[in-house]
Amino acid sequence: MAKNSKEVAKHEEVAEHDYATGLAVITEDKISDPGIEPHRVRMTDKSVKHEKAAARQVALLFAISILGSIFAIWAYYAFPFDDTNASSLRINTLFLGLGISLGLFGIGIGAVHWAKTLMPDAEVSEERHQTRGTEEVRAAALEVIRLADQESGFSRRKLIRRTLYGALALFPIPAIVLFSDLGPNPKDSLRHTMWGAKKNTRLARDPDGTPIKASDVQIGSVFHVIPEGLEKLEAPHMLNEKAKAAVLLVRLDPSEIKNDKEREWGYDGIVAYSKICTHVGCPVALYEQHTHHLLCPCHQSTFDLAEDCKVVFGPATRPLPQLKIEVDAEGYLVAPGDFAEPVGPSFWERKA
Amino acid sequence: MAIRTKKFSRRSPLAAVIVVLAGLLVSGGSYVAATAAVTSSAKAEVDQATIDTGKKLFLANCASCHGKNAEGTANAPSLIGVGAASVDFQVGTGRMPGQASGPQLQVKPVQFKQEDIDALAAYVASLAPGPEVPTEAYLAQTGNASHGGELFRINCAMCHNAVGAGGALTQGKYAPSLRNTSAKHIYEAMVTGPQNMPVFSNSNLSPADKTDIITYLQYVQENPSVGGDELGNLGPVAEGLIAWLAMLGGIVVITIWLGAKSN
């Protein structure tokens, strides 16, 4: 009795989900393989006139190639490169390149046009074979593996197997140790700039290296600054130092500065900030006099100079480091020491 | 006698004061003489009538925003101390009188004759000292273009582009192209720092440095690019756009042709 009622219930359930009308997927009418398109006879096969025209076109394309190559040889001598005139190089390479590319282009287009119009165009199909091997091939392969395992005793000899695994795992490790020493180790050079090399380095104009007096800096003006003496360094070393020590010097109305630390580290509204963006190290130098915004040209990070260079827009996450400045006995601006934090983008060992 | 010797050897306490006073008189006097010589030669051209004309023009055209005495209002800054160079730049390039408020004043056809601009400049310059309109000597393109180029790349190129093609700033502001800007207006812009441009006073870039920069800008305009068409000198964006559209377009056309059957 109970069994019967269960069966009845089951039946009713099925009945509820019976897609009898309209919703069933019709399987008989599925899209069939359309097969190969019916062959279409080309004009060049139907009319001799068209065939001859196509042959002439192919020959013309090859002739263009010949002319292009000859033109390239002629142009090489006709437009020589003159050491004293830079535009002669442009003319020389322009016509040489034009000739050579015509030479190659004519051959390529001619060959394709030839194949498309004159060579046989009957459709041919090649059946693909299965990627999977036959049963016999698969069985033979497995037999080889089984035999190798049996003869070497790989599954049986635990000690050998485990030491081999260990050897294979350790083998690449020396390479990692080796790679860690590729290139010079920057040591702590990322944490120090030329400002810290000696006390009271004068702020100097980039690129001339002339020191700047506090009285030279008007409100609203921008100075691009290097440490005095940097311009006298040797070339590769000089660029490395400049890349870290470049500073932007700006004078604001002291009342516009909203940050106490910024005012204290400056001199009467004159403030100096690192020019190296804290995002990826581009020189931040687009200064808007009225908004006090400092803009990085690479990714549009924007820093507010009136508020300790805090980030107001863009991908940078840290404010630009401020360089503390003072005035020496002769009225020149000097930096008593280095930046308080590493300048520029984050690096592996840098905290925060 | 002994007293006298002692007095002379130890010097009177007043001696130092007298020496300082004499020094101040000499240096101050010579400074006044020197500046008087300079200003008198400059002022020679500007008579009171011109200043009066300038004041009338100012009251008719500028005072509604800048105030009747150029003291500034909520809508426009004070012009006291901006100097003749500022007026000559703003009015001479058509930026002033301003046409509409916006992120930045636009260049438009110049609204005044040069003599009227000179009169306006003379009036504003008469209010307080400020940067003067540069003389021809600084504008002759006879400087060192190579040094000018280096200075331009360090001080100007981040906004105005390495060859002065201009570029975008924040919120609709932009650094204009310097292609068709006259040497005088470039010089005046450096001295006065119009709108959001910082000031590059003579204590930062000397007049000779400014001449070098103007010479450089003239040089890059007159000498064609050796690398082919400049595409507006807008850098990788314009070059990339052309390369992708022209090259990729060409490749697509050739690919379609390769795949098409012959008729």
B197 and chain A: CB distance < 8 Å anywhere? Answer: yes
Rounded Cα distance, A296 and A196, in Å: 25
pLDDT classification of B7: cutoffs 50, 70, 90: very low
Of A234-243, A317-326, A336-345, the one with minimum mean pLDDT is A234-243
Is the Cβ pair B170, A302 closer than 8 Å? yes
Give pLDDT, residue B45.
57
Instruction: Kindly list the domain boundaries of chain B, sorted by start residue.
Output: 41-133, 134-223
3-class DSSP state for residue A334? strand
Question: B189 with B197: CB under 8 angstroms?
Answer: yes
Q: Supply B51's token pair.
A: 């200043």
Residue A278: half-sphere exposure toward Cβ, Cα within 13 Å? 23
Name the residue of chain B whose CA is nearest to A44's CA. Answer: B263
pTM for the predicted model, two decimal places: 0.72
- CA atoms in the 13 A half-sphere facing the CB of B83: 16
Residue B36 pLDDT exceeds 70: no
- Is the pLDDT score of A1 beyond 70? no
Helix ranges (DSSP H) in chain B = 2-10, 13-43, 48-61, 63-66, 83-92, 114-127, 136-139, 145-155, 157-160, 183-192, 207-222, 236-242, 249-259
Residue B200 is predicted with a pLDDT of 93
Question: What fold characterizes domain A194-335?
Answer: Rieske Iron-sulfur Protein (2.102.10)
Is the CB of residue B123 less than 8 Å away from at least one CB of chain A?
A: no
For CA atoms B143, B202, A331, A247, the dihedral sign is negative
- Closest partner CB to A207 (pick from B154, B167, B201): B154
Chain B nearest C-alpha distance from A40 (Å): 9
- The pLDDT confidence band at residue B48, using thresholds 50, 70 and 90, is confident
Q: Does domain B41-133 have CATH number 3.40.47.10?
A: no
Q: Which residue has the higher pLDDT, B43 or B162?
A: B162
B247 touches chain A (CB under 8 A): no
Q: Could B198 and A250 be called an inter-chain contact, meaning their C-beta atoms sit closer than 8 Å?
A: yes
Mean pLDDT (chain B, rounded): 83
Mean pLDDT of the A70-77 span = 95
Q: What is the DSSP string of A151-165?
A: HHTTTT-HHHHHHHH
More reliable by pLDDT, A204 or A35: A204
Domain boundaries, chain A: 43-117, 194-335
* Tally of CA atoms within 13 A in the half-sphere of A327 that contains its CB: 16
Residue at A332: amino acid letter: Y
pLDDT above 50 (res B62) = yes
Q: Do B196 and A290 touch (CB under 8 A)?
A: yes
Which residue among B159, B195, B204 places its CB closest to the CB of A223?
Answer: B204
CATH 1.10.760.10 fits B134-223, yes or no: yes
The alpha carbon of residue B30 is apart from the nearest alpha carbon of chain A, in Å, by 21
Contacts with B154 from chain A: Cβ below 8 Å: 206-207, 224
Is A9 a residue whose pLDDT tops 50? no
Residue of B nearest to A210 (CA): B204
Residues 6+ apart with CB under 8 A from A315: A279, A299, A301
Identify the weakest region by mean pLDDT among A16-25, A143-152, A300-309, B20-29.
Answer: A16-25
- Whether A221 and B200 lie within 8 Å, measured CB to CB: yes
Nearest in space to A326 (alpha carbons), one of A271, A273, A285: A271
CA distance B134 to chain A (A): 19
Q: What is the dihedral of CA A222, A226, A228, A229, to 10 degrees?
A: -150
C-alpha angle with apex A94: A91 to A100, nearest 5 degrees?
Answer: 135
DSSP B168: E
| Cβ–Cβ below 8 Å for A293 and B170 | yes
Chain B partners of A222 at a C-beta cutoff of 8 Å?
155, 198-200, 204
Give yes or no for residue A137 having a pLDDT over 70: yes
List pLDDT tens digits, range A164-210: 999 999 999 998 888 877 877 788 888 999 999 989 999 999 888 99
Interface ipTM > 0.90? no
User: Quick count: other Cβ atoms within 10 Å of Cβ B196?
Assistant: 22
Render pLDDT for B93-132 as a digit per residue (tens, 0 to 9). Answer: 999 888 888 888 888 899 999 999 999 999 999 999 889 8
